[in-house]
Structure 1
Amino acid sequence: MAIGSSLSVGLIGLKAFIVQMQAFISPGLPYFSIIGLPDTSLSEARERVKSACQSTGFSWPQTRVTVNLSPASLPKRGSTHDLAIAASVLSASGAIPHDCLANTVLLGELNLDGTVLPINGLLPILLHIRGQGVRRVVIPQANRSESELVPGLETLCIRHVGELIELMGGQASYHVTDETVLGRQGMEGTNVEPEGSTGDMGEVLGQTHTKWALQVAAAGGHHLLMTGPPGSGKTMLASRMPGIMCPLNEKEQLEVASIRSLCGTLPSFGISDLPPFEAPHHTASTAALVGGGSGVARPGAITRAHRGLLFMDEAPEFASKVLQTLREPLESGYVALSRAKGTTYYPARFQLVMAANPCPCGMGYGNAERCSCKEKDRVKYFSRLSGPILDRIDIQVEVPPVSHINPNQSSATDNSSTMRQEVVEARKAAMERFTEQGWSCNAQASGSWLRSMTSDKAVRLINDALESGRLSLRGADRAMRLSWTLADMAGRSSPGRDEMLQGIMLRTRTT
């Protein structure tokens, strides 16, 4: 009886867990089986592993080979475990020493010719194993740049299974083609400019009030809705908002990078302090927005927008069922996706920015003299944004059409750099105030804290708005959060009458 062991790591969402591989070579007819809740792609590893090992000159055992994936109660998916399965079989057969794989995690997908292909989700895996005390990891050469983001690990990068055998003290005969090397280098060097980094607020003509509202939203972490006719600049403004938001700190950068690693887009972005920007099309399905799929659910747009901005252009054109799925993530900051094989949790703490026309034809602004829509069509169009959704939007602002172009318009005060610096200062004041509570911005402040810390004079204005029906109780809390953000931007220690009136004004649409 011969048993070989190796270690790999599985992912359920962004949560990683150690997987122990045990290969057992026993007498019997030639057969190769993998047990321990593998999915279809992992079951197919039998052929990939067998062919890859034989490409090194290894003589595959002509007996029964069984590989167990432990813990057997957790589902395992994907081709990430190919290299570890191969290593366990090589260890059981004596091709490599039995003790050489101790405290070593092996990750990689195998090709039939033995080459080791890159994997998705490496960053959260490396962060997990470093926390578990593992100090050596074997990964594909194409993932080298991603592994450098996690110091403190002894990382061995390989291109072929034969290299693994040689590193572990065995002998192998293999050949790596130039096309394979070039392919890996091409993937490793891929790095495009992050989205949202090219536009500047100074390029947007006019819309001073809307820019100020966007700045307030960025300073306090507030959700925002812009309504206005086509061509007024709503999309242009939203796409430039990441440039005025607070830079991501180191922890937040790793969170965003881990999500991108899982989605396979990290090589296109790298590590950046620019908040992510996601803009799904209005035909997006529920699964595309919040995540989904069979087996273990995959992340959606709201998770990819974590710590950044989710922009929903033409918001009333989204299906009502899709919009309703935003209600829980907006409150909780995460999404729970339940499937037959378990529940997957993904982070989803994003800022929501919506843009909408005032009516189906888009001309129902001002006196609406150019509008061709019937009254019932106007009501039906905007009613697609339900009350519970609108109640969760802190800022609701009108974006009027630009009436004239000023070629000499100065952008010294409304460029992204200046606006971002003011946002950073306001956010810093809020973080100092919330040191004990652990909140990072005013949008996270609890209602009880707001009601106890806001002056009676300012609260009276809130009560007046509640009595008149302009605000709901949830809207009252959100208006108070806005007033605290406005106070931070003005350099005040607490909001007064003016900040509270402005907060209520930003909270309620005029049409």
Structure 2
Amino acid sequence: MTIGSALSVGLIGLKAFAIQMQAFISPGLPYFSIIGLPDASLSEARERVKSACQASGFKWPETRVTVNLSPASMPKRGSSHDLAIATSVLSAANHIPHDCLADTIVLGELNLDGSVLPVNGVLPIGLYAREHGIGRMIVPQANVEEAELVEGLDVTGVRHLGELIELMGGKARYHLDDARPAAQPDDAATTGERRTAPGDMAEVLGQEHTKWALEVAAAGGHHLLMTGPPGSGKTMLASRMPGIMCPLDEQAQLEVASVRSLCGTLAAYGITDVPPFEAPHHTASTASLVGGGSGVAKPGAITRAHRGVLFMDEAPEFSPRTLQTLREPLESGYVSLSRAKGTTYYPARFQLVMAANPCPCGYGYGDGERCTCREKDRIRYFSRLSGPILDRIDIQVEVPPIDHIIQTPSARQTTSAEMRARVIAARQVARSRYAAQRWTCNAEASGSWMRANTSRSALKLIDLALEDSRLSLRGADRAMRLAWTLADLGGRTSPGHDEMMQGIALRTRET
């Protein structure tokens, strides 16, 4: 009877947990079993591990081999544990020393020829290792660059199981030249944002009022709805939003990179301080937006937009059920996905930017001469954006059509760099003000703090709006947050009458 062990790490969402692999070789008929709640892909590791070991010159034991994944109560999934399972079996068979992998995390998927393929989620696993004092990781060679993003880790990359065996002091038979090359992410499908930086606001003709609204949204972390006819520049403006936002700090960069690592797209983006930008199509399903799937739910668009922008173009064309799923994440900053095998939590602290036409044909603005829609069609179209959703959107702005393209010699378009500088300055003021509360922007401040620190004369305007039913109580808090953002942009220590009036006006859309 011989027992060998190795250490791997599993992920439920972005939450990592250690998995102790114990291989037990005992007398009996030849059989290889994996126990400890493995999913289908992990159960199939039996054939991959057995073939890879034989390809490396290891004679598979002609007895019973059992591998236990501890803790047995936690579900395990994926092929990233193949290399650790093979290592535990090799240790149990005395093919490598028993203590050579103490306090070492082993990750990697195995091919039948023994080559090691890259896996997803290496970055959050590396952060877990550093947090728990595990100083060494063995990962596929294609994941080395990602693992080395975590400071203080001793990272070793391997391309073949035989390479790992020799690294641990054993003997192997393998040829790297014959090994199948490691699969890389589909660069063409995932590098769009990395190759194309956000465009400049100066490229947008006119729309100075809408640009100002975007600047207010970026400065305070506010959600935004733009309503206007086709071709007025709504999509163009939204796509340039990341270029005027504050650069991500180190913690936010790691959070964004961890999500991309889990999705398998980190190699396409790298570590960057540019906020992410996600723009799902209006036919997107609920699961693709919030996350889903059998077993452990996968992240959706709102998680991929964490710390960045979720842009929903043609917002009324999204299904009402899909739109309603945004309500909880907009308030809490995370999404909870419950499945039969447990609950998965993903971060979802994003800025929502919506764009909508005024009616189905798009021309129901101004005097509506060109509009061909019936009144009931207009009402039905925009009613898909329900009251609870609109109440959570801080800024609702009309985007008028452009009536000329010839610019006067004195006309000058505001650039993204200028807007970003003002946004950064306003954010720094807000961070200093909220240092004790650890809020980072006005959109995160509590209503009680706002009411206690806003002047009485400014609060009277809120009371008047509440009496006229122009604002709900939630809307009142959001109008106050807007007023504080306007004060920060204007260099004032607190909002006055003008800032509060502007905050209320930005909250209410003309109908």
Short-chain TM bin? over 0.9
Aligned residues: 509
Change (3 A) 1:118 1:233: same
Write out per-residue CA displacement over residues 385-426 of structure 1, whole angstroms, 9 at most, x where no aligned residue.
000000000000000000111345678661101100000000
Tell me which residue corresponds to 1:105. Answer: 105
SS in 1 for 2:194: coil
Q: Verify the 8 A CA contact 2:278 2:310 in the aligned structure 1.
A: yes
Give distance in 2, aligned partners of 1:91 and 1:293: 36
2:226 aligned with 1:234: no
Structure 1 pair 459–151 and aligned structure 2 pair: CA distance change class (3 A): same
**Residue in 1 aligned with 2:149?**
149
C-alpha distance in 2 between matches for 1:184 and 1:205: 41
Q: Which residue of 2 aligns with 1:271?
A: 271
Once residues 185 and 368 of structure 2 are traced to their aligned partners in structure 1, the CA distance between those partners, rounded to angstroms, is: 58
Query: Aligned ranges for residues 206-285 of structure 1 at < 5 Å?
Result: 206-285=206-285
Partner of residue 294, structure 1: 294
Q: Distance in 2 between matches of 1:342 and 1:510?
A: 45
Q: Unaligned 5+ residue runs, structure 2?
A: none
**RMSD of Structure 2 on Structure 1 (CA):** 1.5
In 2, the alpha carbon distance for the partners of 1:10 and 1:409 equals: 61
* Contact 1:191–1:270 (CA under 8 A) maintained in structure 2: no
What letter corresponds to residue 124 of structure 2 in structure 1? Answer: P
Partner of 2:416: 416
3-state SS of paired residue (1:306): coil
Distance 2:390 2:298 in 1: 28
Residue 129, structure 1, aligned to residue 142, structure 2: no
Aligned equivalents of 1:342, 1:409: Cα separation in 2 = 63
How far off is 1:191 after superposition? 6.4
**Distance of aligned partners of 1:176 and 1:2 in 2 relative to their CA distance in 1, 3 Å threshold:** same
Mapped contact 1:288–1:300 kept (Cα < 8 A): yes
Deviation at 1:170, TM superposition (A): 0.3
CA contact (8 A) 1:195 1:276 kept: no
User: Which residue of 1 is the match for residue 479 of structure 2?
Assistant: 479
Partner deviation per Cα, 1:478-501 (whole Å, 9 max, x = no partner): 000000000000000000011001
Structure 1 residue 50 displacement after superposition: 0.3
- 2:462 maps to 1:452: no
Amino acid in the other structure paired with 1:115: S
| One-letter code aligned to 1:404 | H
Match of 1:69 in 2: 69
Answer whether contact 1:27 1:63 (CA < 8 A) is retained.
yes
Q: Tell me if structure 2 keeps the 8 A contact 1:9–1:17.
A: yes
Q: Which residue of 1 aligns with 2:497?
A: 497
8 Å contact 2:96–2:169 — kept in the other structure?
Answer: yes
Cα distance in 1 for partners of 2:287, 2:489 equals 38
Aligned partners of 1:281 and 1:25: how far apart in 2? 52
Contact 1:140–1:157 under 8 Å retained in 2 = yes
Deviation for aligned residue 1:185: 11
Query: Which residue of structure 1 aligns with residue 325 of structure 2?
Result: 325
Deviates more, 1:405-414 or 1:339-348: 405-414
Q: What displacement does 1:177 show?
A: 2.2
% identical equivalent positions = 74
Partner residue of 2:469? 469
Query: 2 CA distance for matches of 1:347 and 1:338?
Result: 15
Q: Report Cα offsets for 1:86-122 as digits up to 9, x if no partner.
A: 0000000010011111111100000000000000010
Aligned pairs (5 A) from 1:22-61? 22-61=22-61
Are 1:196 and 1:239, in contact at CA under 8 Å, matched by a contact in 2?
no
Alpha carbons of 1:182 and 1:449: their partners in 2 closer, same or farther (altered >3 Å)? closer
Tell me: CA distance 1:53–1:197, structure 2 relative to 1, closer, same or farther (3 Å): same
Structure 1 stretch displaced more, 278-287 or 398-407: 398-407
| Bigger mean CA deviation after superposition, 119-128 or 140-149 | 140-149
For residue 178 of structure 1, report the CA deviation from its aligned partner.
Answer: 6.5
Does residue 307 (structure 1) correspond to residue 307 (structure 2)? The answer is: yes
Task: Judge conservation of contact 2:362–2:371 (CA < 8 Å) in 1.
Answer: yes
The residue number in structure 2 matching 1:436 is 436
SS in 1 for 2:226: strand
Cα 1:401/1:9, change in 2 over 3 Å: same
State how far apart, in whole Å, the 2-side matches of 1:184 and 1:394 are.
41
Do the aligned partners of 1:196 and 1:242 also contact (CA within 8 Å) in 2? no
- 1:5 is matched with 5
Query: 2:130 corresponds to which letter in structure 1?
Result: R
**In 2, Cα distance between the equivalents of 1:92 and 1:454?**
69
Amino acid of the structure 1 residue aligned with 2:497? R
- 2:426 match: 426
Please give the alpha-carbon distance, in whole angstroms, between the structure 2 residues aligned to 1:8 and 1:36.
13
Q: Which stretches in structure 1 are left out of the alignment for 5+ residues?
A: none
State whether structure 2 residue 61 is matched by structure 1 residue 78.
no
Kindly report which structure 2 residues correspond to 1:373-388, keeping only aligned pairs within 5 A, or say none: 373-388=373-388
Q: CA deviation at 1:369?
A: 1.1
Q: C-alpha separation between the residues in 2 aligned to 1:278 and 1:239? A: 9
Alignment deviations for residues 197-225 of structure 1 (CA, whole Å, 9 cap, x no partner): 24110000000000000000000000000
Letter of the 1:423 partner, please give it: V
**Structure 1 residues 236-268: Cα deviation after superposition (integer angstroms, max 9, x where no partner):** 000000000010000000000000000000011
Distance 1:129 1:384, change over 3 A: same
Q: More displaced, 128-137 or 410-419?
A: 410-419
SS of residue in 1 equivalent to 2:176: coil
Contact 2:360–2:373 (8 Å) recurs in 1 = yes
Shift of 1:64: 0.3
CA-to-aligned-CA distance 1:256-282 (integer Å, 9 cap, x gap): 000000000001100000000000000
Alignment partners' CA distance in 2, 1:296 and 1:172: 36
The reply on whether 1:204 has 2:204 as its aligned counterpart is yes
Q: Note if contact 2:39-2:76 (Cα within 8 Å) is conserved in structure 1.
A: yes
Matched to 1:310, the amino acid is L
The residue correspondences of 1:397-408 to structure 2 (distance < 5 A) are 397-408=397-408
**Is the 2:33–2:65 contact (alpha carbons within 8 Å) kept by the matching residues of 1?**
yes
Distance 1:480 1:195 in 2: 39
Q: Which residue identity lines up with residue 415 of structure 1 in the other structure? A: T
